[in-house]
Amino acid sequence: MRLALILTTAFLLVGCGSSGGGNTVSWKRDEWGHRPGPQGFTTVIIDAGHGGRDPGAVSRHTGAREKDLALDTAKRLQRKLSGKVKTVLIRKGDTFVDLDDRVVKASRKDGAILVSIHYNSGPSHVRGPETYYWRVDSHGLATRIQRELEKVVPGESGNLGKKRRRLRLTRNPDVPCVLVECGYLSNAAEARLCNDPGYRDKLASAMARAIVDQQRSGDAGTGPRPRPLNQPPSRPTDPPGS
Ligand SMILES: [Zn+2]
């Protein structure tokens, strides 16, 4: 099994390197964030998921739309971080922004990190926040955010944890990046919680604490970093879960 893994990795590396001729992609080691998580970053780019013609998930329990809850939570997070670190909102109102445009906007900023905020949908019994990351340099931040969220989320919500997943907003930006699914709008109890502004304020405070901790301490105390994975950018045509 281990040998097969090594051979597969070697093949992938050779495969990636051999396709580099003539295109503009740099294959330097840090290209996909294979480095420790950032400390002392200057800017937090806050991305409210969906918007405009894309409502995201709509709760059949409360009628709340993911795009509205995400924007509200993003603005709360911005207020919590005020005076501590510079912040940029990718969208400030109910506007549609293509995922690839979000990647471009996030990648323009040196010394920045990206936090994308979403609310989830799935089977009705599933609940709890999840934090997604892909890059090695985003593992510490994902760990901190998930840890802080679990402190403010009711115990019965379950611990869905942080997950390594290659998404357009976890793999493609040129800055450390995480995507937070704050809770399941498809679960009756969690949908009601997420509809409460006070609860969303607690979620925003939790994320702000995690971001400030990461800025101050880097990856210290967030456990071993994951191994680098060489995978191409995420595309909308990729099969789900790939
Ligand atoms: Zn979403």
Asked if residue 226 belongs to a domain, the reply is: no
The CA 171 to ligand 1 mean position distance, Å, reads: 16
Asked if residue 30 belongs to a domain, the reply is: no
pLDDT confidence of residue 230: 82
The CA 48 to ligand 1 mean position distance, Å, reads: 9
Asked if residue 70 belongs to a domain, the reply is: yes
**234-238-240 Cα angle (round to 5):** 105
Instruction: Give the range of the structural domain holding residue 83, as residue numbers without chain letter.
Output: 37-217
The CA 182 to ligand 1 mean position distance, Å, reads: 10
The CA 238 to ligand 1 mean position distance, Å, reads: 17
pLDDT confidence of residue 158: 66
Asked if residue 240 belongs to a domain, the reply is: no
pLDDT confidence of residue 83: 96
Asked if residue 188 belongs to a domain, the reply is: yes
pLDDT confidence of residue 45: 96
pLDDT confidence of residue 32: 72
- 113 Cβ contact list (under 8 Å, min separation 6): 38, 41, 43, 44, 45, 138, 141, 175, 176, 177, 178, 211, 214
The CA 178 to ligand 1 mean position distance, Å, reads: 13
What's the total number of domains in the chain? 1
Q: Give the whole-angstrom CA distance, residue 59 versus residue 178.
A: 24
The DSSP call for residue 133 is E
CATH of the domain at 149: 3.40.630.40
The CA 75 to ligand 1 mean position distance, Å, reads: 16
Q: Give the whole-angstrom CA distance, residue 180 versus residue 80.
A: 17
Asked if residue 224 belongs to a domain, the reply is: no
- Judged on CB neighbours under 10 Å (0-12, 13-18, 19+), 210 is buried
pLDDT along the chain (242 residues), means of 10: 38 34 42 86 96 97 98 98 97 95 86 96 94 95 96 77 90 92 96 97 98 97 90 81 51
SS3 60: coil
Cβ atoms within 10 A of the Cβ of 74, count?
Answer: 23
Asked if residue 195 belongs to a domain, the reply is: yes
> Computed over its alpha carbons, how large is the radius of gyration of the chain?
18
Asked if residue 5 belongs to a domain, the reply is: no
The CA 49 to ligand 1 mean position distance, Å, reads: 5
